[in-house]
């Protein structure tokens, strides 16, 4: 699995490098179209719920399929109507949606095509939001972004 993740990361970097080199203006990277009505959403946890410090997040997607990052057609594009999830944690505003999404503590990549994850967050209020992106981690056009879900992480119980 580690080798697959490394391959997917390397393929994504090469794809982004190729696209950047092919276009003199890196701010104008080509964006993959999303189908009309496509929707990303957080299935779990539900908005307003209280969760333990370590909890499961389940991603939902309607009108599109999930495909790992780095998978491209012979034409150098994402397979049609597919993408992979990125989870924004506690981000007040969306990152630039015309550029590759850069992984950080607040922006989690799920380039392996995962549809769920175990998160561990500190006690307190947090927000979760999904953004779907193409093979090169660039959000679709129009972007497929979920509503924000607000949760409360409970403090660990003292023994």
CA atoms within 13 Å, Cβ hemisphere of 81: 10
97's CB contacts (< 8 A; 6+ apart) are 131, 139, 143, 145
Predicted local confidence at residue 156, as pLDDT: 81
pLDDT of 78-98, one tens digit each?
899 999 999 999 999 999 999
14 or 131, greater pLDDT: 131
Q: What is the CATH number for 18?
A: 2.60.40.10
Q: 92 lies in which domain range?
A: 2-153
61/136 Cα distance (integer angstroms): 19
Domain assignment of residue 159, yes or no: no
Domain assignment of residue 158, yes or no: no
For residue 143, pLDDT beyond 80 = yes
Average pLDDT of the chain? 86
68/79 Cα distance (integer angstroms): 10
Report the number of distinct structural domains present in the chain: 1
């Amino acid at each position: 699995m580690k080798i697959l993740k490394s391959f997917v990361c390397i393929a994504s970097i090469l794809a982004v490098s190729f696209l950047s080199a092919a276009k003199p203006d890196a701010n104008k990277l080509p964006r993959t179209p999303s189908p009309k009505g496509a929707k990303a959403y957080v299935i779990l946890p539900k908005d307003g719920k209280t969760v333990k410090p370590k909890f499961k997040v389940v991603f939902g997607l309607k009108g599109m399929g999930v495909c790992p990052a780095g998978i491209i057609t012979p034409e150098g594009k994402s397979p049609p109507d597919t993408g992979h999830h990125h989870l924004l944690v506690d981000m007040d505003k969306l990152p630039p949606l015309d550029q590759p999404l850069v992984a950080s503590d607040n922006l989690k990549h799920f380039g392996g095509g995962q549809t769920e994850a175990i998160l561990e967050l500190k006690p307190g209020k947090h927000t979760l939001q999904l953004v779907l992106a193409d093979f090169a981690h660039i959000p679709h056009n129009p972007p497929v972004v979920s509503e924000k879900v607000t949760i409360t992480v409970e403090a660990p119980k003292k023994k």
